[in-house]
């Protein structure tokens, strides 16, 4: 795939913002034999805000550790799908860290509570999502992951997922005529089932070929990922349902992280709140340009009305109750309460 000039302009905007935010410093003089090696995997494509921020983290960790930690980045799914890489980190394999969506962590680390942020139509805005993720979910999810051999240091973001299809989707009935790829996630599969849509779970590495061959007719993801991965190319229609807000997280092998001296743990952790804020801003600032770019790419963008979205919202409400029955109610009730208080105050 050769990105169009407008894609490159949009992606370079994210890089420019990032470079302005970095406090520059000399490259570290890496020792021939660093004390620790961090192999870091992600499905985030190159030349995106995600990969740019990871390169910043690599530079900072190597500089501040004075070469005691050497970081090697593996982007674009070069080390496998998300679930495979998470299991590799958990089990002490090839990777010691990575950046992954929360639903992938729920599956790969066997922490079903991490499906919670991706319940359909849970959040109405970025501000709501940030409030819940930072104030309600970070600490309990970090504790649950550590019990599964994974240490989480910060939230990241994929963004708002919508439907990309080969045929126009003007209604829920239209979507039901399409065969859709779903992420390997219980909550994503439950959403498609609730919508009455045939879906096929597959890793990121399988999707483009499946779309090209007609195994599936569409998928749901963010505008940034759809363009950076090239998945949009076999489709012609984007319906902005924004049905899932998808967080991600930066994680490390607990065994590897705990083996670091305290000073190196602090370097790897970094400034969580500032790093989260920067990562979110880089992704969000790109979305308007990316949506505008779809016209040039031959993809029709349609914004459904509230009335047209209501059947989608109503059909997927049961996914929340399924989550409650299978995973439990404590965390979900805490999120509902936080959202109610936030909405009253805003």
Report the candidate in 181, 183, 220 with the shortest Cα–Cα distance to residue 86: 183
Give the mean pLDDT of 284-299: 96
Position 90 pLDDT exceeds 90: yes
pLDDT at 41 over 80: yes
CATH fold group of domain 5-345:
D-Maltodextrin-Binding Protein; domain 2 (3.40.190)
- Is 269:257 a contact under the CB 8 Å cutoff? no
| C-alpha separations of 46 from 8, 15, 250 in Å | 12, 11, 17
| pLDDT, mean of residues 35-44 | 96
What pLDDT, on a 0 to 100 scale, did the predictor assign at position 32? 57
76 phi/psi in degrees, rounded to 5: 65, 20
Could you give phi then psi for residue 109, rounded to 5 degrees?
-100, 0
Compute the distance between CA of residue 113 and CA of residue 137 in angstroms, rounded to an integer: 10
Task: Give the other-Cβ count within 10 Å of 273's Cβ.
Answer: 11
Task: Report whether pLDDT(8) > 60.
Answer: no
Q: What tokens were used for 340?
A: 């109610």
- Given a cut of 90, whether residue 346 has pLDDT beyond it is no
pTM, two decimals, is 0.89
- Asked if residue 224 has pLDDT above 80, the reply is yes
Report yes or no: 105 and 81 within 8 Å, Cβ to Cβ.
Answer: no
Q: What is the reported pLDDT for 6?
A: 45
Burial class (CB in 10 A: 0-12, 13-18, 19+), 330: exposed
pLDDT of residue 231: 97
d(CA 102, CA 111): 10
Question: Among residues 134, 101, 104, which one has the least CA distance to residue 225?
Answer: 101
Average pLDDT over residues 192-215: 97
- Domain spans in the chain, listed from the N-terminal domain onward: 5-345
Instruction: Decide if 296 contacts 6 (C-beta within 8 A).
Output: yes
Reduced to 3 states, what is the DSSP secondary structure of residue 182? strand
pLDDT computed for residue 342 by the predictor: 97
Instruction: For residue 57, count other CB atoms closer than 10 A to its CB.
Output: 22
39 beta partners: 72
Rounded to whole angstroms, the Cα distance separating 244 from 314 reads 14
């Amino acid at each position: 795939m050769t990105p169009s000039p407008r894609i490159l302009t949009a992606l370079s905007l994210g890089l420019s913002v990032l470079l302005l935010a970095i406090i520059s410093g000399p490259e570290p003089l890496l020792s021939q034999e660093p004390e620790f090696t961090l192999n870091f995997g992600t499905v985030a494509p190159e030349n995106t805000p995600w990969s740019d921020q990871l390169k910043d983290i690599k530079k900072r960790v190597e500089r501040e550790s004075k070469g005691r930690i050497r970081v090697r980045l593996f982007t674009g799914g070069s080390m496998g799908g998300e679930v495979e890489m998470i299991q590799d980190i958990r089990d002490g394999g090839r990777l010691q860290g990575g950046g992954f969506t929360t639903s992938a962590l729920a599956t790969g680390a066997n922490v079903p509570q991490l499906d919670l942020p991706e319940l359909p139509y849970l959040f109405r805005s970025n501000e709501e999502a940030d409030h819940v993720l930072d104030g309600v979910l970070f600490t309990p999810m970090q504790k649950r992951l550590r019990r599964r051999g994974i240490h989480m240091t910060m939230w990241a973001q994929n963004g708002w997922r919508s439907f990309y299809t080969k045929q126009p989707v003007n209604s829920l009935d239209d979507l039901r005529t399409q065969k859709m790829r779903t992420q390997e996630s219980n909550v994503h599969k439950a959403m498609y089932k609730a919508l009455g849509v045939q879906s096929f779970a597959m890793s990121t590495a399988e999707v483009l070929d499946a779309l090209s061959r007609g195994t599936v007719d569409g998928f749901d993801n963010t505008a940034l990922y759809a363009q950076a991965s090239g998945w949009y190319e076999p489709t012609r229609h984007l319906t902005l349902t924004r049905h899932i807000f998808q967080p991600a997280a930066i994680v490390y092998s607990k065994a590897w992280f705990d083996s670091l001296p305290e000073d190196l743990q602090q370097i790897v952790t970094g400034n969580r709140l500032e790093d989260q804020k920067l990562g979110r801003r880089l992704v969000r600032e790109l979305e308007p340009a990316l949506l505008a770019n779809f016209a040039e790419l031959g993809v029709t963008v349609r914004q459904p009305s509230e009335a047209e979205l209501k059947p989608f919202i109503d059909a997927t409400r049961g996914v929340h109750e399924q989550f409650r029955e299978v995973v439990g109610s404590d965390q979900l009730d805490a999120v509902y309460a936080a959202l109610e208080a936030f909405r009253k105050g805003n």
